[in-house]
Chains A and B, each alone.
Chain A
Amino acid sequence: MSSDKPLVSFRNYSFQYFAQAEPTLKGIDLDIFPGEKILIVGPSGSGKSTLGNCINGLIPFSYKGEATGSVKINGKETSEMSLFELSKTVGTVLQDPDGQFVGLTVAEDIAFSLENQCVLQDEMIETVKRVAQTVDMDHHLLNSPFELSGGQKQRVGLAGVMVDDVELFLFDEPLANLDPATGKTAIDLIDRIGREYNKTVVIIEHRLEDVLYRHVDRIVVIHEGRIVADMNADKLLAEGVLPPLGIREPLYVTALRYCGVKITEDLKPASSGTLNYDRVKDAVRSWYEAQPALPEEEYGEEILRAKNIRFAYNRDNEILKGIDFSIRAGEMVAIVGTNGAGKSTLAKAVCALVKNVSGDFYFEGDCINDLTIKERALHIGYVMQNPNQMICKSMIFDEVALGLKLRGYSEEEIQIRVHEALRTCGLYEMRNWPVSALSFGQKKRVTIASMLALCPKILILDEPTAGQDYYHYTEIMEFLRSLNKSGVTILMITHDMHLMLEYTTRALVVNDGKIIFDGSSVEALTKAEIAEAANLKLTSLHELALRCSISDTQSFIRQFIHYERQIRQKDPA
């Protein structure tokens, strides 16, 4: 392939945003050849999205900054082309499948690029139909975006760039907004389209294991603006490039390392499908058998009980259909389920954020049905997915103090409580900073602190780690774990299987308005029918255990998690 001319070619390229003090990309040399499938990985802020923007032309055309060196597409310097010209070669599918859905209906969104090129209507209708078929959306042409799932919206996004017969597909974090099962389908689709139409594919993503579910030719690792590795997946995993950079390896690879297996290229570790299990079997088994029995977790009294909870926005469409559960003090519970299954509504019902809920809620044995939103917030705090939706003051102290001020607490009391909450969240030193100076993860903590200031006994978090890389994910989750250890009961709505496995002992699986499973998280991720109903995937550890003839896969997974936690405590990444 190297005899071909590269489709994309970076030569000693550096880029610095005008607003930034330092270059985001430094001395990039990279060739992407026609027909290749490349994965670009790197932690948040490493510059991987910036690299993507250099390929699709948002840099230099939309984001301004200073560039040195060269980026060529098909031998032509991108800065001498136009965004429009580039869009005929590079088709970009952005991270947020909803935000990039510009049209009022599926068909219009797919046709958007054609409309802009003044393609005649009859031809447009023909093309849209053909392309919609290839992504299996031809039965939804008249649907509006509100009627589609995240995965369907993403397929529309893909169709929207396919109409142009581009040479290169660029996917910016295609998995970020999808649940694991839909993510798997998306990776399949990307693979199929790339092969069938012989296109070059570039995927920017940090969820390595999920992308490696299908073959990729090369992985390019970006760290602090530089390319630190550029090789095939097997070699990359064998060399162990990723863990020191804070990028998570596939779970089974980590497990193998714990078992004392030396990862080599010929083990084919790139995917759980290609791995040579025969050669690792003995090591895995002997590691598993050598682990001591795990201590049982202990919990306190029942703190929250839901009895026959029902809710409907309108008469025909009941969203919660009789939900019962009981949570004990000190638990950390995952609420999982497909989009629209009712898990967010359930969380909102607990906090009285939706009205006309029938059924009873008991908090520490007392019925709380008659408490208003404001009163319930003193017992149960609700943290939204996007901290930008919660923060309304410009200074950190004021933001955290808001709930107390509105409840008329005295100045001294507010000061004490806010400082306490800020200390717990590791933000005390920053108490007089403006919120705008914080990173996403820090903002998340501010929103948690503003809830903690009210001293609730239960916290409910909606997707606490959505869109975070492994480093920030660990930071947020370890914090929540320490909060949990200090006595706060935590419920989390999540799609993240790793989060469930590692941090929650119990999962409530919601499907079609009912709880279909209430038991250990590990069990939920090793039982096919439950994982399927919640749009989760079975974890690769389950497969590893099975292929190594360990029948109690749940126990194996628990041992793995326990072992990993001990390692992390010794050496916090």
Chain B
Amino acid sequence: MNTKLFDYVERHNFIYDLSGVTKFLCFMIAGAAVMFTYDIRVMIVVFVVSVIAFFLSRITFRQIRVMVAYVAIFILMNIVLTFLFNPQYGVEIYGTKHVLFTITQRYTLTSEQLLYQVSKVMKYCSIIPLGMIFILATHPSEMASSMNRIGIPYKATYALALTLRYFPDVIRDYQDISVAQQARGLDLSRKERFASRIKNVLNICVPLIFTTLDRIELISNAMDLRGFGMQKKRTWYCAKKLTKNDYLSIGICVLLLLLSVAVSIFVNHSRYYNPFI
């Protein structure tokens, strides 16, 4: 019965051995680089780098299957909705108009719109692998410390650690409560009408909330008794020391950010790149 929030698999390679801080920083910096620019050439560079990193990590497709499905749905919806609500936005930002074909007066597909939407998809695609690396290739124990080390308050990041720790417990509680309520006659299967299924799920939530509240009181006592929150800072047992590879990786991401800014300032003279002029 796998109830862990993230399915962490222990591996040793360049990416896995990087500190969590590095993975988080790289994600943020490379993210900034693609968010800043609308130049598809820069994005392709970032995309290539992050795909290489992803292959180096040897994360298997099985691990990301579900995540990929959700991301694909999200991107697809994004494409459709952008075109439905703003079919001429590309023309607006690039300032030229090259019509490819016309569906109706409003829905005329232009090269500019196509480039704009492809760029947007590229943005997501170039950053998502790095996010997956942070989530899947960082030991759960290291996540909270990584985020704390780049300045997020430790009380906030520790909440993440606690979530990872107690999520499986709450799931197990839910399963226990759920079968006990089913034994009493609660039907959660599709046989039941939707409205009464919702009502039945609520019947499970009440005991779940009460058991979880009990748990929270216990945890906060346990933490108080061992001095949590008494000082402004805390150290982390599981933090990895930064190595040459960490600095190298962060360096690459900083270069990508510089590239993105430099291209905008010196080459395109704007955040957009228009190949149609």
Contacts and interface: CB of A to CB of B under 8 A. Distances in A.
Name the residue in B173, B215, B219 with the highest tally of chain A Cβ atoms < 10 Å from its Cβ: B219
Interface stretch (B44-52, B72-80, B228-236): B228-236
Interface residues of A, number: 65
A392 B182 contact: no
Contacts of B56: none
A507 interface: no
A102 B228 CA distance: 11
A306 interface: no
A119 B226 CA distance: 14
Nearest to B172: A146
Interface stretch (A104-112, A227-235, A535-543): A104-112
Nearest to A447: B180
Contacts of A119: 235
Contact of A388 (B161, B214, B229, B239): B214
A390 B186 CA distance: 12
Given A103-B165, A121-B236, A390-B177, A373 B223 contact: no
B181 interface: yes
A121 B237 contact: yes
Given A99-B218, A102-B162, A348-B179, A407 B226 contact: no
Nearest to B222: A100
Nearest to B230: A84
A107 B180 CA distance: 35
Q: Is the interface on chain B under 10, 10 to 19, 20 to 34, or 35 or more residues?
A: 35 or more
A96 interface: yes
A146 B166 CA distance: 10
B153 interface: no
A62 B221 contact: yes
B180 A389 contact: yes
B1 A128 contact: no
A367 B80 CA distance: 55
A113 B223 CA distance: 9
Contact of A62 (B162, B203, B224, B229): B224
B238 interface: yes
A406 B185 contact: yes
B18 interface: no
B234 A116 contact: yes
A113 B227 contact: yes
A388 B204 CA distance: 11
A118 interface: yes
Contacts of B237: 103, 107-108, 111, 114-115, 121, 124-125, 128
B67 interface: no
A104 B164 contact: yes
Contacts of A309: none
Contacts of A99: 215, 218-219, 222
Contacts of A390: 177, 180-181, 207
Interface string A86-107: 0100001010101111111101
A394 B177 CA distance: 16
Contacts of A381: 183
A92 B226 CA distance: 9
Interface in A146-185: 146, 160-161
User: Which of A115, A119, A145, A391 has its CB near the most chain B CB atoms (within 10 A)?
Assistant: A115
A382 B233 CA distance: 48
Contacts of B206: 391-393
B141 A403 contact: no
A569 interface: no
Interface string A367-398: 00000011011000110101011111100000
Interface string A54-72: 0011100110000000000
A116 B207 contact: no
B213 to A, nearest CB: 9
A125 B238 CA distance: 9
A481 B186 CA distance: 29
A82 interface: yes
A450 B211 CA distance: 19
Interface string B196-223: 0000000110110011001100111111
Contacts of A114: 235, 237
A128 B237 CA distance: 10
B140 interface: yes
A477 interface: no
Nearest to B241: A121
B219 A102 contact: yes
Given A102-B165, A374-B182, A92 B225 contact: yes
Contact of A116 (B173, B215, B228): B228
A99 B239 CA distance: 24
Contact of A84 (B182, B183, B203, B227): B227
A486 interface: no
A402 to B, nearest CB: 6
Given A104-B140, A348-B179, A353-B183, A124 B228 contact: no
Contacts of A389: 173, 176-177, 180, 207, 211
B226 A161 contact: yes
Contacts of B251: none
A117 interface: yes
B187 interface: yes
12 contacts: A58-B221, A83-B227, A87-B227, A101-B165, A102-B219, A104-B164, A117-B231, A118-B231, A313-B1, A382-B183, A389-B173, A391-B210
Given A103-B237, A125-B237, 14 more contacts: A87-B227, A101-B165, A104-B140, A115-B236, A117-B230, A118-B231, A118-B235, A121-B239, A124-B237, A353-B183, A374-B182, A377-B184, A392-B181, A403-B185
9 closest pairs, A vs B, by CB? Answer: A406-B185, A100-B222, A111-B237, A84-B230, A99-B218, A113-B226, A353-B179, A403-B184, A116-B227
Interface of B: 1, 140-141, 161-162, 164-165, 168-169, 173, 176-177, 179-187, 203-204, 206-207, 210-211, 214-215, 218-231, 233-239
